[in-house]
Amino acid sequence: MPGKVSATRRRIIDAAYELFYRGGFARTGVDDIAAAAGVTKRTLYYHFSSKDALVAAVLEIQDELVLAQIQSWAQYVKGDSSEAVEKLFSEFAAWARKPRWRGSGFTRAAMEFAHLPGHPARMAARRHKARIERWLADRLAIGDRSPQLARQIVLLLEGCHSLILIHGDPSYADAAAEAARLLVEHAGATDKKRRR
C-alpha cells in the first residue's frame, strides 16, 4: 500500500507541475490538477493539505531535479571556471530555445506570489536560487571572491531569463554568457595578482 500511496502522490505532483508550468500557479485550479492526475479531489487533499502544500511539494522536487541537471552539465567540464560558466549559459540558452519555453518555475512562482512574501512558493524559490548560488560559488573556486562572483553570475542568469520571457529572444542568454565570461576572467586575473 505505501508504494501505491507514493505513486499516487507523485502522479499528482507531476500533473500539477505540467499545469502550473503551462498556465501558472495561481490560475491552475485543484479540480484541474485532480482531473489531470486521474484522481478525485478528495484523494488529492488526502495527499496534500492544501494547494499551497502541493505547490511546495512540486517546487521541492523541481529543486532537486534542476540542481541534478546543472551538476550533470558541470561534470563534463574539465577546464577552468570560465568553461563551467560558458557551459551553464549555453545549456540555459538551449533550454530557452525550446518550443513553448515559459521559463523557470521558481522565478515565475516568485513573481506570481510577489505580494505574499511568506508563501511556500516564494520560500521555495528563495531556497532554490540560494542553492544554485552556493553551488556556483563552490564550483568557481576563485579564492574569497567566489561568493561575490557567483552572485553576479546569478544576476546575469536571472536578468537574461526575465528579458527572454519579455522579448521572446533567447539571444539575451548569449549576451549574458559573454558578460559572465568577462567577469570570470577578471576575477581569475585579480586572484592571480593577489597570490603573487
Which CATH number do you get for residue 125?
Answer: 1.10.357.10
Do both 62 and 26 map to the same domain? Answer: no
Do both 123 and 182 map to the same domain? Answer: yes
The pLDDT score that the predictor gives to residue 69 is 86
- Its domain, for residue 32, covers 1-48
The pLDDT score that the predictor gives to residue 190 is 60
Do both 29 and 99 map to the same domain? Answer: no
Stretch 86-112: mean pLDDT, rounded?
90
Stretch 75-98: mean pLDDT, rounded?
82
d(CA 52, CA 112): 13
Yes or no: say if 150 and 137 are a contact pair by the CB < 8 Å rule.
Answer: yes
pTM of the model: 0.84
Do both 86 and 144 map to the same domain? Answer: yes
The pLDDT score that the predictor gives to residue 152 is 95
Q: Please, which pLDDT band fits residue 187 given cuts at 50, 70 and 90? A: confident
Do both 34 and 60 map to the same domain? Answer: no
Q: Please, which pLDDT band fits residue 79 given cuts at 50, 70 and 90? A: low
Q: Which residue, 24, 60, 28, is CA-closest to 44?
A: 28
Do both 88 and 15 map to the same domain? Answer: no
Q: Tell me how far apart the 2 most distant CA atoms of the chain are, in Å.
A: 67
Do both 93 and 190 map to the same domain? Answer: yes
Q: Which residue, 19, 46, 41, is CA-closest to 30?
A: 41
Stretch 32-41: mean pLDDT, rounded?
98
Do both 18 and 99 map to the same domain? Answer: no
Q: Please, which pLDDT band fits residue 53 given cuts at 50, 70 and 90? A: very high
The pLDDT score that the predictor gives to residue 138 is 84
The pLDDT score that the predictor gives to residue 191 is 55
Q: Mean pLDDT for the chain?
A: 88
User: 141: which 3 cell numbers?
Assistant: 573556486
Stretch 25-30: mean pLDDT, rounded?
94
Do both 92 and 44 map to the same domain? Answer: no
Yes or no: say if 172 and 66 are a contact pair by the CB < 8 Å rule.
Answer: no
Do both 5 and 66 map to the same domain? Answer: no
Q: Please, which pLDDT band fits residue 78 given cuts at 50, 70 and 90? A: low
Do both 88 and 136 map to the same domain? Answer: yes
Q: Please, which pLDDT band fits residue 113 given cuts at 50, 70 and 90? A: very high
Determine if residue 119 is left, alpha or beta; phi over 0 gives left, psi from -120 to 50 gives alpha, anything else beta: beta
Output the 3-class SS for the chain. CHHHHHHHHHHHHHHHHHHHHHHCCCCCCHHHHHHHHCCCHHHHHHHCCCHHHHHHHHHHHHHHHHHHHHHHHHCCCCCCHHHHHHHHHHHHHHHHCCCCCCCCHHHHHHHHCCCCCCCHHHHHHHHHHHHHHHHHHHHHCCHHHHHHHHHHHHHHHHHHHHHHHHHCCCHHHHHHHHHHHHHHHHHHHHHHHHHC
Do both 139 and 185 map to the same domain? Answer: yes
pLDDT over 90 at 185, yes or no? no
The pLDDT score that the predictor gives to residue 192 is 57
What is the domain count for the chain? 2
